Amino acid sequence: MSLVHLLLRHARQTPERPAIFYGTEPWATHGQWAQRSAGLARRMVAAGLVPGDRVVLFMRNQPRYLEILWAAWWAGLVVVPVNAKLHPREAEWIVANAGARWAFVTHDVVAEPLTGLERQIDVESDDCDDLLAPVNDAWAVPVVERGAQDLAWIFYTSGTTGRPKGVMLTHRNLMTMGLTYFIDVDPVSADDAMVYAAPMSHGAGIYAIPHLMAGARHVVPASGGVEPAELFALGQAIGPLSTFAAPTIVKRLVDHAEQHGIGPDASARAFKTIVYGGAPMYAADMARALRVMGPRFVQIYGQGETPMVGTALSRQQLADTSHPRWAERMASVGVAQTPVQVRVADVEGRSLPTGEVGEVLVKGDSVMAGYWKNPEASSAAVRDGWLFTGDVGCLDADGFLTLKDRSKDLIISGGSNIYPREVEEVLLTAPGVAEVAVVGVPDAEWGESVVAFVVMAPGLQTTTEALDQHCLAQMARFKRPKRYEIVTELPKNNYGKVLKTELRQRLASTAD
C-alpha cells in the first residue's frame, strides 16, 4: 500500500486538526496538507512525470518538505532526499546517478541551477506557491497506486569506494519502520509533536511516517536546525516534543539544560522522547543525560539499508539502574526490534556463539531492496535476505548487542557518515600531493574528527590553509579534515597497504 494513504486517512477523519507547525505557528491542518500535496501531485503528473520517476529534495528543513514528500508519493514517484550539507557538485553526482527529473531546493543550499535536471524549483518561490496551490477536493485527485515492493525513497549513503550508493527503500520497508516505532521505540498519540531539528533528509524525516500514522503534529523549528534554547521553548509552548538526534545533539541539549538549571521535571515539560542513534554514545554521556533530563531517552541502531530498524534500547532499560547488568546494557545498542532478526557471524556468514565478536547481520521486512544501479554491491550487502552491516559486535545471553568496531573505515562526525577514501580522492587532486591517508580521531564534541596525513611529491610544499581551501572547493564542509599532518611517508605493510591502525596509534600517543 502506498504511504500516501497515511495522509488521506487523517485528512478524512480529522481535516481541521493542526498537523504541521513552523515554529509555534500553525502551517497546515491534515486537510490542507492533503489539498496541497494533491495539487502538486496533479501538476507533476500533468507535466509528464510518470510512476517511478525520481524527484530530488536538496533543501534545509522546511514545512514544505512534508508536503512535497507526500505529493511525490501521491503521484507514484520516488523521492531522493539529499543532505543539505553536501557540496552542489556532490549533489549533481546524485542527480545524475538517480536519473532525477525534478529537484526541489532552498536557495540557501544551492543558488545556481544543478545540471542534468528538467526542472529545479525553489520551495520559497512563487513557482512553488503555484505548484502547491491547494485543490478543493483532494479526493478527486487519483492516487497513483504503488505496490509494497515499489520504491518510495532512495537514500544515498557513502560507500567504501568513495562514491555514494543509493539505498533503495520500498513502501513496505518504510511502512515496516513506521509500525515498528510504536512497538519498540515509543508509543505515539495524536497529541504528540515530532520536531525536526536534525536533517529531514535522514532519520528525522523518516520518522514523519510513524507520527503521521498516529495523527500527531509535525514541528519544524523556525531556525531549521538545532538551537537548544529554541527547542526547549517550543516544547514549553506547544507541548512536550519528540525528536531524533545524533549524540552530538543530545549533548547540546543536556549542556543547555544543565547550564540553565533545567532539571528532569522541567525537561519533561519540553521533551517527551529523544531517540538517539547514528553514532556511538558514550555511557558516561548517557548517564549524565539521564541525571540532568530524566528518563526520556531511547537508543536505536540501524542503517540506511535497514532504516531506523535494527536494535533498540528502551527508556525503561536505560533508566533501570537497579539491574545487575545495567552498566553493560548502557554500553550496548539494545535488543533486536520486533520485525527483524539480528545475529553475529564470522566471515563465512556462520552464526557465532554468545559473546564472540563478529559482523552484525540483520534480516527482515525493513531491509532494503538493494543499491540503485549497483547489483554487485547489492549482492555483497544482502545474502539470503541477511544484510551484512559491516559493523562488528557481539550478543550477550539476553540478546543485547554491543558494537565493538566497524569493519569499514567509516568516520562518524556529528552523526554524519564520512568515508576516508572520499576525502582522500579529493586531497589527491591538490597540487603536489603524492599520497594521502585519512583516519578518524576521537573528539569530545563531535564523536570523531577527520585527520589527513599528506605526503608531498619530492621538492614540493604546501600549507594546511591551501589544503583546506582545496577541500572546501570540492566537498561538503563537514567532511573536510579538521587537522592536516604533512609527513614524509606513510607507514605500510609488506604488501604496500597503508597501516591506518598505526596512524591512529600515532595520534593517540601525541594526545596523551
**In this structure, what CATH number is given to the domain that contains residue 132?**
3.40.50.12780
Positions of the chain with pLDDT lower than 70, given as ranges: 158-162, 280, 405-408, 493-497, 512
395 and 436 in a single domain? The answer is no
Per-residue 3-state assignment (H helix, E strand, C coil) for 369-438: CEECCCHHHHHHHEECCEEEEEEEEEECCCCCEEEEEECCCCEEECCEEECHHHHHHHHCCCCCEEEEEE
Dist CA 392 CA 361 (whole Å):
9
24 and 94 in a single domain? The answer is yes
Residue 304 lies in a domain: no
Residue 395 lies in a domain: yes
Residue that has been written with the C-alpha cell 587532486 in this structure: 429
Residue 300 lies in a domain: no
8 Å CB contact between 161 and 171? no
User: Per residue in 30-69, pLDDT tens?
Assistant: 999 999 999 999 999 999 999 999 999 999 999 999 999 9
CATH number at residue 379: 2.30.38.10
Instruction: Determine the pLDDT at residue 497.
Output: 66
Residue 177 lies in a domain: no
105, 129, 146 — which closes off a domain? 146
Structural domain boundaries, residue 21: 1-146
398 and 427 in a single domain? The answer is no
What single-letter DSSP state applies at residue 284? Answer: H
Residue that has been written with the C-alpha cell 503521484 in this structure: 75
Within 8 A by CB and 6+ apart from 332, the residues are 313, 396, 400, 401, 402
Q: 10 Å Cβ neighbour count for 321?
A: 10
Residue 393 lies in a domain: yes
8 Å CB contact between 17 and 30? yes
User: Per residue in 230-278, pLDDT tens?
Assistant: 999 999 999 999 999 988 889 899 999 999 999 999 999 999 999 999 8
385 and 497 in a single domain? The answer is no
Residue 156 lies in a domain: no
Task: Find the radius of gyration of the CA atoms of the chain.
Answer: 23
417 and 388 in a single domain? The answer is no
**Percentage of residues in the chain having pLDDT higher than 70:** 97
CATH number at residue 433: 3.30.300.30
136 and 36 in a single domain? The answer is yes
474 and 389 in a single domain? The answer is no
Q: Looking at the 3D structure of the chain, how many domains does it have?
A: 3
Exposure class string for 157-183: b at 16+ Cβ within 10 A, else e: bbbbeebbbbbbbbbbbbbbbbbbbee
Residue 492 lies in a domain: yes
426 and 398 in a single domain? The answer is no
Dist CA 98 CA 145 (whole Å):
21
Instruction: Determine the pLDDT at residue 22.
Output: 98
Dist CA 497 CA 259 (whole Å):
47
Instruction: Determine the pLDDT at residue 414.
Output: 85
387, 406, 425 — which closes off a domain? 406
Instruction: Determine the pLDDT at residue 493.
Output: 61
Instruction: Determine the pLDDT at residue 161.
Output: 45
504 and 364 in a single domain? The answer is no
475 and 358 in a single domain? The answer is no
105, 125, 146 — which closes off a domain? 146
8 Å CB contact between 509 and 503? no
Residue 396 lies in a domain: yes
97 and 121 in a single domain? The answer is yes
376 and 503 in a single domain? The answer is no
